[in-house]
């Protein structure tokens, strides 16, 4: 018997890639697709499997994988959140030794290639680099938690951004900027309210699009004196306009654009030609939540860029 203490542990099947095709219309000629990457993590009574190798309480990870695909057929994929809720509740309620299940989902977007002269509509092209995310945690003791999100949403303002008046010491070489490019690759997670998470009719797709739109509008409309200010404005706009969201956490790497020195060539660079640096970068992170609401997105659970 080990003299040490087994602490937090979990297991499951990670990155189950699944694509569903839903056929609608006359003869099923109109297709809708969902392209997901689903990871399952289970927590519960697993002391014996760690200490003695007794697998009596261990539901095979292969079974969790099979469950993902079977549920896609039996229940369909209405949204990443709805699908994750179904899976999480199933694992906890179907096995007494499983006390908590966490489902993480990434969704990859496809845009329809529409051919007006063709009745069938089943051609798609991958759109951009944005990935939709969801994390669903269900516990018999603490209930249901739904975190929605996105990553790899690259945005840019080519003006209306400054950065000056900052602290300086003997190692400071950065010049103050009064007209600069502001660009970032947005990673965001937001905590949905308990009533929204429990509402089986909640429209997760509509909620996602609404949060995304308000973040982008805030980014575009904020005259920025720092990326921190822009971060706060983006989260603030979401909380002001989406009442079912209680908390927003943003991860914003500053995608630096530096003016190129063209003087050696006898040319003036009037904020027209920039060098886009991909490394190194400033990394701005922050969480904004409603007053009086306990934050649920743990910093330790946050994967930085």
Residue 175 DSSP code: P
Lowest-confidence region among 107-116, 131-140, 165-174, 175-184: 107-116
Sequence-distant (6+) residues with CB within 8 A of 201 are none
Answer yes or no: are the C-beta atoms of 134 and 150 closer than 8 Å: no
Lowest-confidence region among 16-25, 70-79, 187-196: 16-25
- At residue 305 the predicted structure's pLDDT band, cuts being 50, 70 and 90, is very low
Binding-site positions: 61-62, 163, 180, 228, 254
Provide the pLDDT for residue 302: 45
Q: Please indicate whether residue 90 or residue 31 has the higher confidence score (pLDDT).
A: 90
Binding-site positions for O2: 61, 254
The share of the chain scoring above pLDDT 90, in percent, equals: 75
Has residue 1 got a pLDDT over 70?
Answer: no
Binding-site positions for urate: 61-62, 163, 180, 228, 254
Q: Is the dihedral of CA 207, 213, 216, 222 positive or negative?
A: negative
- At residue 30 the predicted structure's pLDDT band, cuts being 50, 70 and 90, is confident
- Classify residue 31 by burial, with Cβ atoms within 10 Å: 0-12, 13-18, 19+: middle
Q: Which domains does the chain have, with CATH numbers?
A: 8-141 (3.10.270.10), 153-305 (3.10.270.10)
Over residues 167-220, the pLDDT tens digits come to 999 999 999 999 999 999 999 999 999 999 999 999 999 999 999 999 999 999
Q: How far apart are CA 135 and CA 66, in angstroms?
A: 19
**pTM higher than 0.85 for the full model?**
yes
Q: How far apart are CA 253 and CA 175, in angstroms?
A: 19
Residue 11 DSSP code: B
- Residues with catalytic annotation? 13, 61, 256
Binding-site positions for 5-hydroxyisourate: 61-62, 163, 180, 254
Has residue 136 got a pLDDT over 50?
Answer: yes
- CA-CA-CA-CA torsion for 65, 71, 77, 79, nearest 10 degrees? -70
Q: How far apart are CA 278 and CA 257, in angstroms?
A: 9
């Amino acid at each position: 018997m080990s003299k040490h203490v087994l602490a937090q542990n979990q297991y499951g099947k990670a990155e189950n890639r699944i694509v569903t095709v839903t056929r609608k219309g006359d003869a099923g000629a109109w297709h809708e697709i969902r392209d997901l990457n689903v990871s399952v993590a289970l927590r519960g009574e697993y002391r014996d499997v760690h200490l003695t190798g007794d697998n009596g309480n261990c539901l095979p990870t292969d079974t969790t994988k099979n469950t993902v695909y079977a549920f896609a057929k039996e229940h369909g994929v209405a949204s990443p959140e709805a699908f994750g809720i179904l899976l999480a509740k199933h694992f906890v309620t179907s096995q007494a030794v499983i006390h908590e299940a966490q489902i993480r989902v990434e969704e990859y977007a496809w845009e329809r290639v529409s051919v007006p002269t063709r009745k069938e509509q089943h051609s798609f092209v991958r759109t951009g680099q944005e990935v939709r995310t969801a994390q669903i945690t269900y516990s018999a003791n603490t209930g249901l938690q739904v975190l929605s999100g996105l990553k790899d949403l690259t945005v840019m303002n080519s003006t209306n951004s400054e950065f000056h008046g900052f602290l300086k010491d003997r190692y400071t070489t950065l010049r103050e900027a009064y007209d600069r490019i502001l660009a970032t690759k947005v990673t965001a997670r937001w905590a949905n309210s308990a009533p929204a998470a429990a509402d089986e009719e909640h429209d997760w797709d509509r909620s996602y699009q609404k949060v995304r739109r308000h973040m982008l509008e805030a980014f575009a409309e904020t005259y920025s004196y720092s990326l921190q200010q822009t971060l706060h404005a983006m989260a603030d706009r979401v909380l002001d306009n989406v009442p079912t969201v209680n908390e927003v956490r943003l991860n914003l790497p500053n995608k630096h654009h530096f003016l190129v020195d063209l003087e050696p060539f006898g040319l003036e660079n009037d904020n027209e030609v920039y060098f886009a640096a991909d490394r190194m970068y400033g990394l701005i992170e922050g969480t904004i939540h409603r007053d009086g609401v306990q934050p649920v997105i743990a910093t330790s659970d946050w994967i930085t860029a």
